[in-house]
Amino acid sequence: MLDEKDLQAIAALIKAETEPLREEIKLIQNKVEPLQEEIKRTKSESIAMMEAYFEPKFDLLADSIMAINEKLDTMPTKEDLEPLELRIDALEAIVRKHSREIAELKKAQ
C-alpha cells in the first residue's frame, strides 16, 4: 500500500511533468490575448466600413421603393380603365367601318 511519502513523490513527479505544460499554456495565452483584441478591433472597423458603404445604398433603395409605391398608389385600377377600353373598342370599330367605306369609295371612282 502507498504511504504518505509515496503519494508526495507521485505528486512531485506529476508537478514536474505538468510544469512545462503550464508554462506553455501561459505563453499561448499571452499570444492569444493580443490576437483576440486585434480581432475585436478589426471586427469593429469592418462593421463601420460596411455601414458606411451599405447604409447610403439602402437609403437610396428605400427612397426608390417609396417612390414606386407612391406611383402605384396613383395608377388607375382595372376598374378605372374599363370605360376607356369600351371607348377604344368603339373607336376601333368606327375606324374599321370608315376604312371599309373609304376602300369602297376608292373602288367606285
Tens-digit pLDDT profile for residues 34-87: 999 999 999 999 999 999 999 999 999 999 999 999 998 888 888 889 999 999
Overall number of domains in the chain: 1
Residue 5 within any structural domain of the chain? no
* 65 in any annotated domain: no
Asked whether residue 37 is assigned to any structural domain, the reply reads no
Residue 68 included in any domain: no
| Residue 104 falls inside a structural domain | yes
Query: How confident is the model over 33-46, as pLDDT tens digits?
Result: 999 999 999 999 99
Instruction: State the residue for C-alpha cell 504511504.
Output: 3
Q: Would the pTM count as exceeding 0.75?
A: no
Range of the domain at 88: 77-109
Structural domain includes residue 93: yes
The whole-angstrom separation of Cα 5 and Cα 11 is 10
**Distance (Å, rounded) from C-alpha 48 to C-alpha 42?**
10
Cell of 82: 374599363
